[in-house]
């Protein structure tokens, strides 16, 4: 139980940045006029995509659907984390340029 708690804590700490900070940063930088709309759209698109995969896994694989779903979630974090990391650099550069213009 202690090891599960420790590993869950490490995973949640590592994933919270991807879940909460990166989409907000990208939305606010890339769409400064409508960051809330952009963030809501990203959230809705991610939920829609993920819910369809999880529902399909449960129907196709039966009681083994949860393990396939967790494998999908791990793969999705790896793939989308890589994509977000690539999108993060232009967002940070643009944010820095906007900050310098505002001075």
Q: pLDDT by residue (tens digit) across 42-79?
A: 888 878 887 887 788 778 877 776 777 777 777 877 78
The SS3 of residue 98 is: helix
- Per-residue pLDDT, 16: 63
pTM of the model: 0.48
Q: How far apart are alpha carbons 26 and 22 in whole angstroms?
A: 6
Residue with the larger pLDDT of the pair 18 and 2: 2
CB atoms under 10 Å from CB of 26, counted, come to 22
Residue 2: both structure tokens together = 């202690």
Dihedral sign from CA coordinates of 91, 94, 96, 99: negative
């Amino acid at each position: 139980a202690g090891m599960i708690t420790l590993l869950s804590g490490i995973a949640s700490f590592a994933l919270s940045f991807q879940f909460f900070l990166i989409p907000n940063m990208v939305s606010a930088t890339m769409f400064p006029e409508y960051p809330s709309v952009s963030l809501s759209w990203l959230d809705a698109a991610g939920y829609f995509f993920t819910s369809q995969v999880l529902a399909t896994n449960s129907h196709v694989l039966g009681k083994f659907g949860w393990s396939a779903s967790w494998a999908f979630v791990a793969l999705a974090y790896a793939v989308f984390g890589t994509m977000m990391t690539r999108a993060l650099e232009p967002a940070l550069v643009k944010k820095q340029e906007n900050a310098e213009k505002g001075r």
